A and B are shown apart, each in its own frame.
Chain A
Amino acid sequence: MAGEILYAGIADQVTAEALSGKYILLLADRNAIPAHPAIAAGYQGDVAGRGSNTIKVPHIGLFGYDQLAAGTEGTATGNTALTDGSSTITVGQRDKIYEASDMTRMVDANGLIKPDTMAVDAVVSAGATMLSMLANLVDGFSAQVGTSGADATAANFLDLITTLEVAGVVGPYLFVGHPTQWGDIRKDVGTAIGGAIQWNAGSQAILDGMKGLGYQGNYLGADVFTTKHVPTINAGADRGGGMFGAGAIVWADGTIPTDADPNQLIIADKLLFERVRAGKAGLTAWLSRMMIGMSVGLDAAGATLQSDA
């Protein structure tokens, strides 16, 4: 027979590729900063209306910092010096803009290039940005545990806790580490023979827990959060995660003023989402902007874990 209509012969009737109607997100760490007491305690407020984008956080040695000294009957008591210090937070601008042409928006078949998708992206990106800022601070505490070039172990995790306890840091503690570090600790826990680690219910829980980035649960009394934003240290040989308690991290933000502009939307009080139209060029941009600053407060309230990258 001849004249069959075959797929190879109807090039004019078909397209080379068709969109699936679904999309896959590229791999990235999209987690937001955890709502943990160690971080919440460090919030210093909104810089809006304060006359400066820099906030000074006073540190004071009171409420039991100095003990009573031995006195002498009939003799005037000497003054006790007040110990104090401070740290500063500079609130900076963080923003991102996506700009699409009218043609792109017109042919968009997945429905992704549109305001509501961009608004969701703004919220997720803001959370991930704050997490990245936090991760870039935990590698810099003066107290450091672990061995350069060696995998992290459960013993290192205990050393972090001990370091903070010796320094008198108020709990609960939060460990923010790279997934490589947490994976090494988990592997050490999983292959532990004997001792309290092997028979600890928490050890079983972390081995059986759901995988992925973000909150991993509570282990040995400290909360664990993993993020890929934890940087390398020691010229790329190691990762620098950290464990800290209240006061280690201080942060502030700012409310961006809007002018009753229908193109501007403030999300969760702090995140500006704005539509910017350039009609002559046929371009529509969606801007996400927030004002945020984060610093190390009490350096001694945190400890860094160095372990093989």
Chain B
Amino acid sequence: METELSTFVDDGAAAGETFLPDAGMSGRGGPPPTKVPACPAFYYAFDPNRWTVMGRQVVPAFVKVPFSDGVNGARAIRDREGRIVRFDMGDARAQHEERGRKIIPHEAVPAAHLKPGQRPSYIYRPKGRPDVHLSLYEKCYPGSEQVDCDEKRFLEWCTWLEAKGFITPVPLHVLRNLLDVKKAELGKTSDKALTNPSLRPLVERLAGDVEAIEEALHARVERLGSAPSDGDTFDPAEA
């Protein structure tokens, strides 16, 4: 039978708080942290000429601009103890923008992709590993080095970025070039697959990529027409 316990009474004793001393025993509860190697935070930079095909969709192949002191103009700001407190990425941003690239702000994430109360950012830091910075669309696992891509939501994010104007649609000349390259690759791989059946999944993948690019090309041409660079006619006799 449980004895009824008396409740706490403030009888004028000295104020204080409960305290749990460290007895030198490590907590072994909970899953272990991920074993993904340390990697710095980064910006994604959008290059209008760099695209790839993923999940039957033509998506930008973003460039990572790492927050790493001395890499491509990144500069660490340190406190008196030598600890890095923040990064000055002005030079790094300028170098990429000079090449026609656009830095995607960290906050450019749809609310639906975030947990309630989670601050908007496409950088994700796993618990217990403050030295690991992944993208919100990369999944890592406790006690493992494996990293997987959350392809469905990544593709949604790319579509959302275009809809919100953070990135421009894929240029027609890029689509045409990508189609030429993929068709050539498909042809050569199909030939090899005749004697090397293990290449058949790759052939199917490339065939799917070609279809995706053709659909994107068709959709773009319908919307915009086929406009090359702006210019004018020229008569060499006038030179």
Contact = CB atoms under 8 A, between A and B. Distances in A.
Contacts of B139: 236
A90 B70 contact: yes
A125 interface: no
A136 B68 contact: yes
Nearest to A151: B202
Interface in A273-309: 291-296, 299, 306, 309
A24 interface: no
A131 interface: no
B159 interface: no
A264 interface: no
A309 B140 CA distance: 13
B188 A155 contact: yes
B150 A235 contact: yes
B71 A133 contact: yes
A309 B69 contact: no
B75 interface: yes
A54 B149 contact: no
A204 interface: no
From B70, B75, B198, name the one whose CB has the most chain A CB atoms within 10 angstroms: B70
Contacts of B188: 155
A217 B64 CA distance: 28
Most buried by B among A133, A137, A237, A299: A237
A73 B14 CA distance: 106
* Consensus secondary structure, chain A interface: mixed
B134 interface: yes
Contact of A139 (B53, B64, B73): B64
A298 to B, nearest CB: 11
Contacts of A155: 185, 188-189
Given A147-B206, A149-B205, A194-B195, A236 B147 contact: yes
A92 interface: yes
Given A147-B205, A194-B195, A236-B147, A231 B71 contact: no
Residues of B in contact with A, size category: 35 or more
A187 to B, nearest CB: 10
A110 interface: no
B70 A293 contact: yes
A295 B73 contact: yes
Given A90-B75, A142-B50, A237 B68 contact: no
A189 interface: no
Contacts of B95: 87-88, 295-296
A93 interface: yes
Contact of A148 (B54, B82, B91, B192): B54
A54 B72 CA distance: 11
Nearest to A86: B98
A306 B61 contact: yes
B76 interface: yes
A216 interface: no
Contacts of B37: 228
B118 interface: no
B147 A136 contact: no
Interface string B187-216: 011001001101000100110010000000
Contacts of A235: 135, 137-138, 149-151, 154
A302 to B, nearest CB: 12
21 contacts: A90-B73, A90-B75, A92-B70, A136-B40, A136-B64, A136-B71, A137-B72, A139-B63, A139-B64, A142-B47, A147-B185, A150-B202, A155-B185, A234-B54, A235-B137, A235-B154, A236-B135, A237-B149, A293-B71, A296-B72, A296-B95
Given A193-B195, A295-B95, 16 more contacts: A90-B70, A90-B73, A92-B74, A94-B70, A136-B40, A137-B71, A140-B72, A142-B47, A147-B52, A147-B185, A155-B185, A155-B189, A193-B196, A231-B66, A294-B71, A306-B52
Interface of B: 37, 39-40, 45, 47, 49-50, 52-54, 59, 61-66, 68-76, 78, 82, 91, 95, 99, 134-135, 137-139, 147-151, 154, 182, 185, 188-189, 192, 195-196, 198, 202, 205-206, 209
